Every structure is written in C-alpha cells, then in structure tokens.
Amino acid sequence: MNKARRYTRASLVFALMILAFGVILTLNVNIGSKYVTASPLDIFKILLKGHPDGGGYEGAAPEVIKTANSIWKVRLPRILAAAVLGGALSLSGYLLQTFFRNPIAGPYVLGISSGAKLLVGVMLIFVFKRATGMPFWIMMAAAFAGSMLVTGVVLLFAGKMRSMASLLVTGIMIGSICTAITDFLITFGNESDIANLHTWSMGSFSAISWQNLGACAAVIFVAALCAFLLCKPISAYQLGEEYARSMGVNVKLFRVALIGLSSVLSACVTALSGPISFVGVAVPHITKLLFGTSKPILIIPGCFLLGGVFCMLCDLIARTLFSPTELAISTVTAVFGAPVVIALMLSRQKEKTHE
C-alpha cells in the first residue's frame, strides 16, 4: 500500500516536471523579443523545418525567415543551454552535498565556480587576449582545472572542520579570494579583453553557439550518466563512510568519482555561461522535498530535470522582467536560491536545539 503510494508519487512528480519543462520551453520560445510575431503553429512548423541555414525555407515569407533565424540562432540554443546547464549545476550540487554530507554544499557556495572563473580569466588575459580567440575546449579545460584546484583547497580545510557553517565560510572565503584576483586582473587588463570577461563572468545564457553547446552537452550527458551509475554507492554513503565501506563500497574510489564528476559538471557550466549562483544548492533540496525521499535513483534524474526547468524559468524572468534590458542570470537564481539556503540553515539549527 505504502509502496504503491510511493511509486505513484514519483511518477506524478516526474510527469509534472516534464509538463513544466514543456510549458516553460514553449513560453521561452514565444515570449520576449520583438522579432517573433508568429503564431504558435508557425513556430511549431519552424521547429519542424529545422535550422534556416540548412535550407527548406525557399519561397517562404520574409517574416517567417526572420522568425526562423531568431528562433534557431538566438532563442533555441539559449533555452537548451539553460536546460542542460541547469541540470548540470543541480547534479554537481547534489554530488557535492553527498560528498560533504552537507545540504548546503554546491559549486557556487564552495567557491568552485569562482575558481573556474579565475583560471578562465587568466587564460583569457594572458594567453589568448580575447574570448573569441580562445578555443572552447581550452576554456573548458581551464574551468575544470580551476574547479579541481578550489575543490582541493576546500577539501584540505574541510577535513579539519566538520560543521556546516565552517565549511560554508571556507567556501565563501576561497570564492572571495578567487574573485578578488579576477577583479585585480580585470583592473589592470586591456579594455577590450575585459569587456568580454566581464560579460562572461556575470553569467548569461545568451550568445551560446550550437557547437559549444553541443560539446558541453555531450560532456554533461556522459557525466550525468556516470553519476546515475553511482546511485547505488551514493545510497549506501548516506549511512556514512564506515557503513558504506562495510557493505562493500570502495570508498576512496567513490569519493574521487564524486569530486571528479561534480567538477566536470560545474566546469562545463562555468565555461559556457559563467558562474551561476545557488542553483546547485536549491534544486537538489527542492527535488528531495517533492519526491519525499532521498533515494538517489530518483533524485539524480529528478534534480537534473528540475534544474533544467528552474534555469529556463529564471532565464525567462531575466529576459522579460525589465525587457529590453536583460538581468544577469545569477541575479534571478539568487533571489530564488538564497532563501532556500537560509531555510536549510534554519531547519538544521532547529534540529540541533531539539537534540
């Protein structure tokens, strides 16, 4: 009886998430810019026809071609980037929370995103001089190296401090140091390099090319698949390191896999769109609340999907709220994400006083 109820709940939550995904995707394609005046039916036709550069629009009205261009060249990559990167961020946060056994760990909170940003900035200013001249894979590699570097430093400190607050403070400090160095570089950098770096470091899903998106998406999907394959040891790890080991988990290898995967995921996001705040903390937590369980086999796909929905929604708000002026994506995610972090801290505090 109970089991059946649990299954029903899980399917219901998944169905709702997919529905929300569809609705927000449609809204994102439709709402916003002045270019699209076509009816939903026309948009659907354009989607079916494919990219305008691929042909198929011979003899179409100029407005339709214009619409097709704006949808395929601007809007779709942006929406899909929001979906994929949001998923990657949430999953990265979930893996870090598992690793640190701490519900407020996340790539942004722990300063990992800032570390990635710093290394990308260094490459941008000292090696390639401008963002356009920098091969995307080098940007990804730099972001990954930066993520790993900061994760290493956080690990070094985290071993000594068990409490949630001190881990958080460590992350914020390291993140601030990275940001400070990045700012320092910007101050003394060349005007034109900086403009690029500055836009990028604010975090945005705009101006993402299909090639870069494809490369990132491929890496992200492989990493997400690997994470899903880890769902059994993750569930055992919920009982603690010692119990996990006693049940046959190779804890050392498992921990390396967790850190590696979460770094790859957050590096992809940082390389493609710049650091985005709080998604990694808020989404896994909301996912657990929705499913009413912490079973990784549900939470891993669930938080990936919800992360996509969440980021698409935030992007929609960022684009439309003060249109035509766009907000930075982090501005919006922080408004929704930060309260979740505060709520988590408060509920933890309450538990402590209860004990």
Partner 1 sequence: MSDSFVFSAKGLAVGYKGRALISDISFSLKRGSILTLIGPNGAGKSTILKTITRQLAAIAGTAFIDNDELKQIKNASLAKKLAVVLTDRIKPEMMSCFDVAAMGRYPHTGRFGTLTSHDKDVTRRALERVKALDIADRDFNLISDGQKQRILLARALCQEPEVLVLDEPTSFLDIRYKIDLLDILLEEARSRRLTVIMSLHEIDLAEKVSDYVMCVKGDHIERFGAPREVFDDETIAGLYGLTSGVYLTRRGSVELSKPEGESRVFVVGGNGHGIYHYRALQKRRIPFDAGILFENDMEYDVAKSLSRALFSVPAFEPMDEETYAKALEAMKRCGAVLDAGAPVGTLNAMNGRLLAEARRLGIKTVNDANEID
By CB under 8 A, is residue 295 in contact with partner 1? Answer: yes
Q: Which of 274, 277, 343 is nearest to 310 (CA)?
A: 277
By CB under 8 A, is residue 133 in contact with partner 1? Answer: no
By CB under 8 A, is residue 345 in contact with partner 1? Answer: no
Cis peptide, bond prior to residue 324, ω within 30 of zero: yes
Name the H helices within the chain.
2-30, 40-49, 62-69, 76-100, 112-122, 136-158, 164-187, 191-202, 210-229, 231-237, 241-246, 251-273, 279-291, 296-320, 329-354
Which part of the chain contacts partner 1 (CB under 8 A), choosing from 9-17, 26-34, 193-201, 294-302? 294-302
Integer Cα distance of 50 and 36 in angstroms: 16
Nearest approach, Cβ of residue 146 and partner 1 (Å) = 30
Give the number of other Cβ atoms within 10 Å of residue 59's Cβ.
Answer: 5
Integer Cα distance of 46 and 72 in angstroms: 9
- Nearer to partner 1 by Cβ, of 5 and 63: the residue is 5
Which part of the chain contacts partner 1 (CB under 8 A), choosing from 58-66, 138-146, 224-232, 305-313? 224-232
In this chain, which of 51, 73, 198, 245 binds partner 1, going by CB under 8 A?
245
- Nearer to partner 1 by Cβ, of 68 and 230: the residue is 230
Nearest approach, Cβ of residue 293 and partner 1 (Å) = 6
Which part of the chain contacts partner 1 (CB under 8 A), choosing from 187-195, 254-262, 289-297, 306-314? 289-297
Give the contacts of 255 (CB within 8 A, at least 6 positions apart): 99
In this chain, which of 229, 342, 343, 346 binds partner 1, going by CB under 8 A?
229
Integer Cα distance of 62 and 178 in angstroms: 49
By CB under 8 A, is residue 67 in contact with partner 1? Answer: no
By CB under 8 A, is residue 288 in contact with partner 1? Answer: yes
- Nearer to partner 1 by Cβ, of 54 and 248: the residue is 248
Query: For residues 88 and 53, is the Cβ–Cβ distance under 8 A?
Result: no
Nearest approach, Cβ of residue 98 and partner 1 (Å) = 10
Token couple for 252: 């050392």
Query: For residues 61 and 38, is the Cβ–Cβ distance under 8 A?
Result: no
Integer Cα distance of 270 and 268 in angstroms: 6
- Nearer to partner 1 by Cβ, of 97 and 147: the residue is 97
- Nearer to partner 1 by Cβ, of 244 and 334: the residue is 244
The residues binding partner 1 (CB under 8 A) are 2, 103, 229, 231-232, 235-236, 238-240, 242-243, 245-250, 288, 292-295, 297
